[in-house]
Amino acid sequence: MEEQFEKIEIRKPENIVYKKTDLLVDRPLSYCPGCGHGTVHRMLMEVLEEMNIYEKTIGVSPVGCSVLAYDFLNIDMIGAAHGRAPAVATAVKRLWPDHFVFTYQGDGDLAAIGTAETIHACNRGENFTIIFINNGIYGMTGGQMAPTTLPGMRSSTSPYGRDVPTMGHPLKITELVAQLPGVHFVTRQAVHTPGNVRKTKKALRKAFELQKENKGVAFVEVVSNCNSGWKMTPVQANKWMEEHMFPFYPLGDIKVDGKLVEKKEMVDKE
Amino acid sequence: MGELRLMKGNEAIAEAAIRAGCDGYFGYPITPQSEVMEYLMAEKPFERTGMVVLQAESETASINMVYGGAGTGKMVMTSSSSPGISLMQEGISYMAGAELPGLIVNVVRGGPGLGTIQPSQADYFQAVKGGGHGDYHMLVLAPASVQEMCDHVKLGFDLAFKYRTPVMILSDGAIGQMMEKVVLFDQIPRRTDEQIIEQCPWASNGRPASRDHHIITSLDLDPAGQERVNLKLQAKYKTMEENETRYEEINCEDAEYIFVAFGLAARICQKATDLARAKGIKVGLFRPITLFPFPAQEVAFIGNRVKGILVVEMNAGQMIEDVKLSVGCRVKIEHYGRFGGIIPSPDEVVRALEKQIIGG
Ligand SMILES: Cc1ncc(C[n+]2csc(CCOP(=O)(O)OP(=O)(O)O)c2C)c(N)n1
Ligand code: SF4
Ligand SMILES: [Mg+2]
């Protein structure tokens, strides 16, 4: 039987329909299976590859689950202290103005400990991209309450659910920074379906294109899951995210070309 | 050769930064050092040399801007005074861990807490022993004049890059505010991006296709790896001890007693030395210029030749611990200090010498 088959090499450039970008280091990601961080990493690197700007890109990683992003992203990286990435990126961009600079931050990093750095970098209109992974929880430290944790949502430090009178409201920092004149483009995306992944990639591309024009901050939030922190399977987590996170953090553009987008449905459904 | 000017210590820091070819200054106002940024903004170094000057939202942001700029190989600095320097400690520790060069100027004021805006030397421990978390040191320079404020900026940047380490200039409110003659060194051109890339082959400033990516981090989750990081740092501190110890001896050749003092206190002791000698007391002054590495051998050598040592500081007794560790216990070593912003007079220092060392 065997001799009937002739071995043909089909791995030719003209046959390639999909390939992992070389800008992702060939090593296993440290993220939990199903976590959104890895998908955003891939989109980000694909954008830098397609724009062919990776040689002139400097990334700033946070403290959070993506603290090791620099191990996976095959570009020059600087690991910032918890919350300080926008300050780090401010200096990097000011000192290398012809380079592309981004921060990659979680919600604890960007909207709690680093709130001041976030707001002031945005308000100064620094010309870099902020990528904000909002999973409503402190993933890395084991699922504690984040500034973005929903009312009633359980976490290890709100084990009976976030009690707004004592624990405060979730912070919609993205809507907040959109108010600032230094911010040019604000969008909120997700990566749990192929369609959303495509939209996120488009948003990232736009954010990096804007850096060429020196128009100020481009802010891309990705509402993401945290299966481990939420104590759910990846499938459950994505469903829960659609049912609970999206109504509170509605997807779509919030500010385009420096102008706030009129939103009819952008009302809290708490 | 250089240009002669009458300047405040804080202004000398700023002018020296521009002339040293500094690429970026990031700071937040606080008395008694606000003149550093004020001078820089007025001088428009962005036009003179292309240097970036940015008023940050806090000292936390300032030091992290320094961390970021240093991570790309640029020559960057900040300045502040005690409470602001406390806020910077996490960032300084990160710089030490990630082995980043940078200059931090502390124009010390009295503490603790909001304390006072008057001069003090109470941040010696914080500067010399670490200050932030983890086993690390900064290289610490202690200027005693406006001239040294200027010179230590250049020296500080040189040492920061030589050892890839944060360097602190530990000054005080008096040296920052007082005016003296200063001879300014000539303008050194800022390095081009190409020179920076060549000189800092570790920096993250964009990965060409030809090399691996660079990562600036202070994290190593593997304990064996983190121990290696620590051993490397300790070896570096040892090399600094061997090569970078700086000090000054005044009237020490025939001295029966010595003052040990740094910075402003050393200036006061210099005058006190003259006053005491006029009275027939043979006293000299040993002035550490680097506080880390501490000139331990040198102070021990001279300390063991004299009858007694008075350590004079504008704090409750901090450097005296290093003097005692260096000299040992065969010689009488006492401390004289004023705190909270009080500057001791040369007369009271002589009286302290007579009472605590000679008479005691
Ligand atoms: C100064 C400081 N405080 C606290 C921590 C501990 N810490 C590490 S990550 C983290 C929270 C991260 O949460 P988030 O930013 O939402 O990122 P995620 O892991 O969810 O992606 C905290 C509190 C730290 N490393 N440094
Ligand atoms: S803990 Fe959460 S955010 Fe962190 S890797 Fe796991 S799923 Fe992702
Ligand atoms: Mg999070």
Q: Is A226 in the pocket of ligand 2 (CB under 6 A)?
A: yes
What is the residue-wise DSSP string for A164-192?
A: HHHH-PPP-HHHHHHTSTTEEEEEEEE-S
Neighbouring residues of B348: CB distance < 8 A, sequence distance ≥ 6? none
Mean predicted confidence (pLDDT) in A254-270: 75
Q: According to the model, what pLDDT value does residue B202 have? A: 98
Q: Are residues B32 and B103 in the same domain?
A: yes
Q: Is residue B212 part of a domain?
A: no
pLDDT reported for residue A19: 86
Query: In this complex, is the C-beta atom of A197 within 8 Å of any C-beta atom belonging to chain B?
Result: no
Angle at B63 between CA B94 and CA B206, to 5 degrees: 70
Asked if A242 and A36 count as a contact pair (C-beta separation under 8 A), the reply is no
Residues B252 and B329 in one domain: yes
In a domain, B229, yes or no: no
Which residues on B lie below 8 Å from A57 (Cβ)? 206
pLDDT in tens, B114-154: 999 999 999 999 999 999 999 999 999 999 999 999 999 99
- Nearest of B317, B41, B16 to residue B141 by alpha carbon: B16
A73 to B60: CB separation less than 8 angstroms, yes or no: no
Q: Looking at beta carbons, which residues of chain B come within 8 Å of A84? A: 60-61, 64, 67, 91
Structure tokens at A2: 């065997």
Give the distance from CA A149 to its chain's centroid: 16
Task: Using the 3D structure, point to which of B194, B215, B238 is the last residue of a domain.
Answer: B194
- Residue B20 sits in the same domain as residue B169: yes
Count of the separate structural domains present in chain A: 1
Of the ligands numbered here, which is closest to the C-alpha atom of A38? 2
Record: contact B57-A89, CB cut-off 8 A: no
d(CA A228, CA A215): 38
Residue nearest to atom 5 of ligand 2 (CA): A31
Segment A200-216 mean pLDDT: 97
> Where is pLDDT greater, at B58 or A15?
B58
pLDDT of residue A13: 87
Please name the residue of chain A whose CA is at the shortest distance from the CA of residue B26: A91
**Residues B285, B152: one domain?**
no
In-domain check, residue A105? yes
- Is A22 a domain residue? no
Task: For residues B196 and B75, give the distance between their C-alpha atoms in angstroms, rounded to a whole number.
Answer: 9
Cis peptide bond upstream of B32, omega within 30: yes
Give me the CATH number covering residue A120.
3.40.50.970
Please, what sign has the CA dihedral across residues B11, B12, B14, B18? positive
Residue A162 counted as domain residue: yes
Q: Does A138 sit in the ligand 1 pocket, CB within 6 Å?
A: yes
Residues sharing a CB contact under 8 Å with residue A158, sequence separation 6 or more, in sequence order: A145, A149, A167
- β-bridge partners, B119: B109
**In residues, how long is chain A?**
270
Gap between the Cα atoms of A143 and A154, Å rounded: 9
pLDDT tens digits, one per residue of A149-202? 999 999 999 999 999 999 999 999 999 999 999 999 999 999 999 999 999 999
Domain contains B213:
no
The reported pLDDT for the residue numbered A66 is: 98
Decide whether any atom of ligand 1 lies within 6 Å of the A75 Cβ: no
- pLDDT at site A207: 98
Atom from ligand 1 closest to the CA of residue A135? 20
Q: Are residues B56 and B173 in the same domain?
A: yes
- How far does B264 lie from chain A, in Å, by closest CA? 33
**Would residue B220 count as lying in a domain?**
no
Total domains, chain B? 2
> Please, which pLDDT band fits residue A268 given cuts at 50, 70 and 90?
very low
Q: What is the pLDDT of residues A82-136, one digit of tens each?
A: 999 999 999 999 999 999 999 999 999 999 999 999 999 999 999 999 999 999 9
Q: Please answer yes or no on whether A92 and B68 come within 8 Å at the CB atom.
A: yes
pLDDT band at A2; cut points 50, 70, 90:
low
Residues in chain B where the model's pLDDT stays below 70: 1, 360
Closest C-alpha among A75, A57, A77 to residue A67: A77
Are residues B162 and B68 part of one domain?
yes
Entry field: residues in chain B: 360
Residue B308, domain CATH: 3.40.50.920
- Any domain includes B137: yes
B231 located within any domain? no
Packed helices B223-243 and B146-163: angle between N→C axes, nearest 10 degrees: 140
- Taking the Cβ of residue B236 and every Cβ of chain A, the question of whether any pair is shorter than 8 Å is answered with no
DSSP A21-34: -TTB-SS--SSPTT
User: How far is residue A127's CA from residue B166's CA, in Å, rounded to a whole number?
Assistant: 27
Q: What local confidence, expressed as pLDDT, does residue A11 receive?
A: 82
Domain of residue A74, residue span? 30-260
Pair type for strands A217-223 and A183-190: parallel
For residue B45, say if its preceding peptide bond is cis, omega within 30 degrees of 0: no
pLDDT at A270 over 60: no
Determine how many CB atoms are found less than 10 A away from the CB of residue B270: 18
Confidence of residue A60 (pLDDT cuts 50, 70, 90): very high
- Which CATH number covers residue B185? 3.40.50.970
Q: What does pLDDT average to over chain A?
A: 95
Q: How many C-alpha atoms does B248 have within 13 Å on its Cβ side?
A: 16
Residue carrying structure tokens 């300014």: B184
Tell the residue nearest (CA) to atom 26 of ligand 1.
Answer: A82
- Evaluate whether residue A13 is within a structural domain: no
Tell me the pLDDT band of A3, cut-offs 50, 70 and 90.
low
What residues make up the domain containing B120? 3-194
pLDDT band at A265 (very low <50, low <70, confident <90, very high): low
